[in-house]
Amino acid sequence: MSESTPHNDPASEATRRRTFAVIAHPDAGKSTLTEALALHAHVISEAGAVHGKAGRKATVSDWMEMEKDRGISIASSALQFEYAPAGHEGEPYMINLVDTPGHSDFSEDTYRVLTAVDAAVMLIDGAKGLEPQTLKLFRVCKARGLPIVTVVNKWDRPGKSPLELMDEIVAEIGLQPTPLFWPVGEAGDFRGLARLDTDGEIEEYIHFIRTAGGSTIAPEEHFTPDEAAEKEDVAWETAVEEVELMTADGAVHDRDLFLDCTTSPVIFASAMLNFGVHQILDALCELAPGPAARHTDPKVLASASSAVDESRAPGDDFSGVVFKVQAGMDRNHRDSLAFMRVVSGEFSRGMQVTHAQSGRSFSTKYALTVFGRTRSTVEAAYPGDIVGLVNAGSLAPGDTIYEGRKVQFPPMPQFAPEHFRTLRAKSLGKYKQFRKALEQLDSEGVVQVLKNDARGDAAPVMAAVGPMQFEVMQARMLAEYNVETVTDAVPYTVARRTDAATVPELAKQRGVEVFTRTDGELIALFGDKWRLQFIEKEHPEFTLEALVAD
């Protein structure tokens, strides 16, 4: 993995950055695609697959034991590498790729990643179509203005017809799919791709040749449409008819509509066989937007007593936003990494910056680029790059660091927890390690930690979006701090934000308990939604606000 040369022009460097997330429903093939993209960029020599199928290695992006055991992604993973499409002149593109959890229990981690990228690759299982988590993530991307490239994966397996999948996308989310590469051969009989031009006309046929286990790049053969008709016969005729139907319906790529999140370019692929993979990379390099200006948090700007920049463009002074904090990535290094997206300017290792939330000076002596769990010291980074800051204990997701005039970007969204359990150390002799582990995992946002005087510090209440978050917390406490823990149910299912004026009377109500979250917010837990509705009706003066994403 190559590194940028220090002291290049940030605005110029930004133009060759492509920073995107891979998002989808569980088991759609995100981690397998991540491996395949890295393979086609020639940064690994052999692709892996989750669960390590015969002759294939474990993925570089899934590094937690729970991920390897269950074959799912639990934590987001950042990979950075250079890539030059065929025929590309000049410096290669710098790809910053973030593989994210697909399981709904880890939605909060995925949503944080979406605040740090410029585009998204939405992976759809060709057999299952648009699944619930896929729909949710599509809507989040659209709401955040993230352009979406749709990849229909697993076309080597039996599944739905391509037109049926396109109709689903239009009907379910109102996003117009515009094919760039259309499959030749029905699902389960993937022969190759018809490449379309900007007018929706077929330019060529790309025929793929399978390799052993799909662990190496699949060779390609290129044919003209006439040659393809002779070679593939009925399969080619079917593909041509389907493309003509899509084109007649106006499904033709327009970059402005793509950037406006009105349309989504579509590519059919098989990540497992490495079919259609470099076409995905080429499309991202050509179509996805580079880094753009980011605006200051309106609340900070309105309350500022001194000069605060309204936004930072790529060529401005350095600024960055932390979107994730992660410890335990490497058992040889007992440290934590704050993953920072460079928003503007040049980041130089060792530079002194200001932490916007505290106003304190912050040293960046130890900075890394990350490829799965593999680390490389980075000397310089530019807008769009993702950098791991080592042992940045004062940083939390959503924090801003900057140089020059103050800037503070909007905070990370927090989501309403729906599951609550107490957590305690199984052995009283492990209490000190328990507290240390809890502080670390709380700072990462693995769960929300709620405390009050009645329960004390030994058995705080954990609040999570999904129950699997509790399993991750317990597994990491055991693996990283050697603390075995026990969870116990609590009789609550609904959370609301409240205030100090409401707490005295609210605490007297039956079926309610008030806690303080680590960030100082007062959180009231209720037995169920009916209890909450009753209290809201009886006491309309109470401050009870839903915990929703900003």
When pLDDT is averaged across residues 274-281 and rounded to a whole number, the result is 95
* Residue 5 reports pLDDT greater than 60: no
Binding-site residue set = 99-103
Numbered residues of the known binding site for GTP: 99-103
For strands 93-99 and 17-24, give the pairing: parallel
User: Tell me: the pLDDT tens digits for 30-72?
Assistant: 888 888 888 888 777 665 533 344 334 444 444 445 444 544 4
Taking 70 as the threshold, does the pLDDT of residue 275 lie above it?
A: yes
Higher pLDDT among residues 281 and 416, named by residue: 281
- What confidence score (pLDDT) does residue 1 get? 41
If you average pLDDT over residues 95-113, what whole number do you get?
68
Give yes or no for a contact between 441 and 336, defined as CB atoms under 8 angstroms apart: no
Looking at CATH, the fold of the domain delimited by 419-546 is given as: Alpha-Beta Plaits (3.30.70)
| Residue 96: pLDDT over 80 | yes
- Full-model pTM: 0.80
Q: How far apart are CA 112 and CA 500, in angstroms?
A: 29
Residue identified by tokens 């799912």 is 72
CATH code 3.40.50.1980 for 10-287:
no
CATH superfamily, domain at 294-402: Translation factors (2.40.30.10)
Alpha carbon distance 279, 144 (integer Å) = 26
Per-residue confidence band for 2, with pLDDT thresholds at 50, 70 and 90: very low
Given this model, what pLDDT does residue 546 score? Answer: 87
Rounded to the nearest 5 degrees, what angle is found at the Cα of 258, between the Cα atoms of 275 and 282? 30
* Alpha-carbon dihedral angle through residues 439, 471, 520, 434, given to the nearest 10 degrees: -30
Do the domains 419-546 and 294-402 match in fold?
no
Name the percent of the chain in helix, strand, coil, to the closest 5.
25, 30, 45
Distance CA 312, CA 304 (A): 17
Q: What is the pLDDT of residues 295-340, one digit of tens each?
A: 999 888 888 777 888 999 999 999 999 988 776 545 554 567 788 9
Furthest-apart CA atoms within the chain: distance in Å:
81
Query: What is the C-alpha separation between 322 and 394, in angstroms, rounded?
Result: 11
- Read off the pLDDT of each residue in 176-193 and give the average, rounded to a whole number: 97
Given a cut of 90, is residue 166 above it in pLDDT?
Answer: yes
Mean pLDDT taken over the chain:
85
| Domain residue spans of the chain | 10-287, 294-402, 419-546
Question: pLDDT band at 107, cuts 50/70/90?
Answer: low
E strand or H helix at 164, and its extent? helix 162-173
Neighbours of 219 (CB within 10 A): 11
Q: Any bridge partners for residue 21, and if so which?
A: 98, 120
Residue, of 112 and 264, whose pLDDT is higher: 264
Contact yes or no for 65/475 (Cβ under 8 A): yes
What whole-number distance in Å separates Cα of residue 20 and Cα of residue 363?
28
Alpha helix (H) ranges present in 249-395? 255-259, 277-287, 298-303
From 61-65, 516-520, 536-540, the region with the lowest mean pLDDT: 61-65
